A and B are shown apart, each in its own frame.
Chain A
C-alpha cells in the first residue's frame, strides 16, 4: 500500500502549545528564493510514501519511506506520525534507518563465496550458489542422519546440520525457515530469542 496524505503533517510539538503547525500558513516570504534547502521538503511531498516498521527493538515503530517516483529509490525515511505507538518519533537507531538502505556502501550486493582454505571472498552468481548449497546440505544431512536413536525409537533427526536465526526477518520468512528446517529433520534450531 502506498500512502499519499497531503503533507504528512507533524504536530508532535504543537500539541502542548495548542498551535498546530498547519496554521503556519504558507507565507513563503523572501526566503523562498533560497531553494537549496527547500528542495528536499518539496521532493518529500512529491514522493511515493511507503509505510514500514522499524527493524531494531521490538516496540514496532512505524516509519515512512519516501521513494523518488522517477528513480524508484528511497531518499528519506522518518517516523510515521499516524502510528499510534511512536506518533512519528524515533530513537537514534530509528532516525538513522535510512542508513540501512542501499545508500549504505557497506551493504552486501553480491553472492560471496569462500572456498575451503581460501584467503578471500569470491563473487558468485545465485545460479551457481544455490545448487552448490543444496548439494552440501544433502550430503551433510544424509551422512549424519539419525533415523533411530540409541533406544531404537524413530527420531528422523538431521543432527549434522543446524540453523540459527533470525529475529530480524519477517514472520513469513521465519515460518519458511522453520518449516524448511523441520522438513530437513533439524533439531539444532535456535535464534536470538535466547540471546
Chain B
C-alpha cells in the first residue's frame, strides 16, 4: 500500500476493484465504511456480487480478466473529458517527456518485440534527452511524442462501446463509474483504489495495477491522504516476507539478485545504481551500494571484506533472463531436477496452480522438510488421493512449529507498519519457532561443511549465524537488530553541520547512515531505523498521538521507510509546498521545514530550483511514471485476453494474449481457449471464514462450521439451463482436471454480454484440500493453468475456462 488502512477513511471515492475487502479484509472495510459514513462513494467492480458489494454504493459486474480494458476506458474518459489534474500531471509526472522516435505501437504490440523469445527489446522505450542528459520536456503537453499525447492516442481505442463489449459492463455503468471516480481529479478531492489478488492473479496483473497508478497520477491522487493505490495483501506478514525477499529475484530490501553476467561487485553495483543528470531529482537509489554492501556485511560479518568483494562471489547468481518462481520451481521438480524442498508454513499442494502437476512433482523429491503448526496436503502428499504411497521414495520431515502468539517477533502489515508482538505462552509439546528450526538446521549444516568441505563451502562456513540467546534458544530481538544494522566501527555522521558520533556496536538509527565501505551492516536497509541508536525497539511503540488528525499514528509501531506513513507525500503539496487540500493537510512546507508526515526527503519543494527536489524520489527522474518502460509487456498497459478465455480474438488487436508471458510446455500444461467443451469463465477466491489454502483454518472447527466444504457459485440462469439445483453436488472441470463440489445457485452471478454473446461466469473458493476435513472437497487448483504474469509470475487463478456438469 502506498497509504495505509486507517487512511482509507480520508477518501472521497473508493474504487474497490480486484478486491473483496469486506470478506477478506473486514477490518480494512471498517475504514472504508467510515469514509462512506462521511459521504464518500464506494464502488465495487467485481464479476460477482459479494459481501463487499452489499455495502457499497453500487456494484458493477465485469468479466474476469478485462480490468485493463475497463481502466483503459477510464483513462480515455479522463483525458477526453478533461478530468485530469493538470498542474499535478505537468509537474509531478513524466507526461511532458518526449519519447524516442523509434517507439511505436501496432496491433497490440509495442516496438521491439521478439516473438521467438516472447520478449521485448526495450531500446526504443526511452526518452529523448538534452545535451546535458536531462530528458526533453514539453510542458504544454502538445508535442505528438510527449508521453501525454502517446498515452492519449493509445487509449483513444478504449471507447465506452469497445470497453463494454470486452468487459460485459453496460455503457451506462461504465460512464457512471468513470464520472464518479474522475471527479476526484479536483485538487481537494481524494480517490483511492483497493485491490488484492483479484488484480495480481492475472497474466496482466502488474499492468492492471500500473493502469490504476496512471489514473491516480492523472487525477493527482498519488501521495495524498485518502489516495494512493492500495494492495490489501492477503497474509499476515506477506509484506515482511516480501520486504525480506523470500523471492528468487531479490535480496532483502528489494535489492536485486545478481545475475551471472555481473561477475564483479563493481559491475553489479554499476548496473543497479540508477543515475540522473537532473539536479532536482533526488534519485534516492543512488545510495544503492550502501544498502547492498551493508547487506553482505550482515550475512558474512567480519569475513566480508573489501578484498573479497564483501563475499559477492559467495552469493548464487541467476542466469540472465531466467526466472525461478514457484511455477518454475514446480516445473523443474516435475522434470525431476529438484531433489530437496523446504516447505515452511505453506501448502503448495493446494495453493499452487495446476495441482495435478504439483502433486506429481512432489513425488519426485528425495526429501521434503515441512515446518508448520498443522499438517497439510503438501506434507502428507505421499498419502494423498491417487498416490501409490509405497512407491513414493521421498523422505519427509514434518517439524512442529510455534504459532504466532507463541513467539516473539515482528509482522509487517500492508500499510508497512512493522508491529512487534510478544510471546504469550510456550508452544505445546516439542514445537519451537520456525526461526529456531532454521537456526538449528543451518548450524548443523555449517558443522558438516566445516568438517567435510564442499563446493562454495565458504558461503556457508563464513555465514554469521549467532542468533540464539544464552539458553541456545532463538532470539528474535538479536535477529531484529541484525536486520536493522550496526555500526561496525566508530563513526561520525555529519548532517547540516552537526556531528554525531556513533560507537562500534551501536545500532544504525536510519538507512541514511549506512556505508558502502563495510563500516556498517544492515540485514535489510528499509528496516534500518526500526531501532533507535540507543536500542529502543520502535516496532514495539504503542503511542496513540495523531497530530495531523488523519490517522497516521506516527508513534504506533515503526513504518518503513523512516516511519513515513504515506509514501510520495510531497506530491500532496503544490510546487511551493502548500497542501493541495487544506482540509486534509498531510504535509506542509513552512519555509524551512516540512510539517506533518515524515516527508519524502528533507529538501525544499520543487519550486526551489536550487535545492528543491521532485516528489517521487525513488524514481531516477523524480517523477511519477505515466510511461513505464520497466514493464515486460510495454510502457502503456494494453488489454490482452487471459490465457484461457471465451474469445478467439482480442477485440482490441490481433494479439490475443499477453505477448510477454512465459508458456510452460510440460505434458500436464494443457490450455483450452474459446473451446466449446469449456464454455464458462471461472474464477477462484477465498472466503471470510477461511484463509488461503485453508491449511490453518480448516483445522479450526468454529470456522469450518461456517464454510464446511467446497462450493461453486453459479448464476440462476446457468443453473436453470443445466438443470442444477441449489445445494446439489456437481462437478466443475477444466482441461487440466476436475473438482466435485456443492452448487450454490445464486443471483449474485449474472451472465455477461461479451461482444454480443452471452457468457456465463462461475467461481469457487480455493480453501479446501483432501486432508481435512475428509469430506470437504479438494483443491480448486486442479482447474487452473500454470501460467503467470509476465513481470511477477503471479499465477492466473482469476480467469480460466471450465464446464459445470451434474454428477
Contact = CB atoms under 8 A, between A and B. Distances in A.
A192 B235 contact: yes
Given A130-B440, A153-B263, A155-B317, A52 B326 contact: no
A141 to B, nearest CB: 7
B444 A179 contact: no
B246 A59 contact: no
Nearest to B449: A138
A174 B244 contact: yes
Given A141-B455, A177-B434, 10 more contacts: A1-B422, A58-B413, A91-B26, A99-B701, A153-B317, A158-B316, A170-B404, A172-B409, A182-B299, A192-B238
B419 interface: yes
A24 to B, nearest CB: 24
Contacts of B26: 91-92
B423 A50 contact: yes
A114 to B, nearest CB: 4
A179 B459 CA distance: 11
A28 interface: no
Given A171-B240, A175-B252, A182-B316, A134 B447 contact: yes
B45 interface: no
Interface string B390-419: 111111111111011111111111110111
B236 A60 contact: yes
A7 interface: no
A61 B447 CA distance: 41
B520 to A, nearest CB: 17
27 contacts: A1-B422, A58-B235, A59-B232, A60-B419, A67-B424, A104-B700, A109-B428, A118-B382, A133-B369, A134-B444, A138-B454, A159-B338, A163-B344, A164-B343, A165-B342, A166-B344, A173-B434, A173-B435, A174-B241, A175-B483, A177-B438, A183-B299, A189-B248, A191-B238, A192-B351, A193-B241, A195-B348
B65 interface: no
B100 interface: no
B159 interface: no
Given A77-B405, A147-B456, A57 B324 contact: no
Contacts of A82: 542, 544
Contacts of B248: 187-190
A67 to B, nearest CB: 5
A50 B6 CA distance: 24
Nearest to A186: B316
B372 interface: yes
Contacts of B669: none
Interface string B196-240: 000000000000000000000000000000000000111111111
Contacts of A186: 316
B551 A84 contact: yes
A46 B185 CA distance: 54
Interface in B418-476: 418-419, 421-435, 438-442, 444-445, 447-449, 452, 454-456, 459-460, 463, 467, 476
Contacts of A85: 5-6, 27, 413
A56 B691 contact: yes
B105 interface: no
A1 B540 contact: yes
A121 B26 CA distance: 38
Given A117-B392, A119-B389, A140-B366, A101 B405 contact: yes
A90 B27 contact: yes
Contacts of A163: 246, 341-342, 344
A54 interface: yes
B399 A60 contact: no
B565 to A, nearest CB: 11
Contacts of A77: 405
B346 interface: yes
B113 to A, nearest CB: 25
B697 to A, nearest CB: 6
Interface in A127-178: 129-138, 140-145, 147, 149, 151, 153-178
B689 A92 contact: yes
Nearest to A61: B27
Contact of B247 (A110, A125, A189): A189
B701 to A, nearest CB: 7
B503 interface: no
Contact of B351 (A55, A182, A195): A195
A178 B344 CA distance: 12
A118 B390 CA distance: 6
B319 interface: yes
A73 B426 CA distance: 8
Given A84-B556, A114-B382, A58 B234 contact: yes
A44 interface: no
Contacts of A110: 400, 429-430
B652 interface: no
Interface in A41-74: 50-63, 65, 67, 72-74
A82 B543 CA distance: 10
- Most chain A CB within a 10 A radius of its CB, from B257, B263, B353, B440: B440
A119 B380 CA distance: 11
A173 to B, nearest CB: 4
Contact of A53 (B246, B414, B419, B797): B419
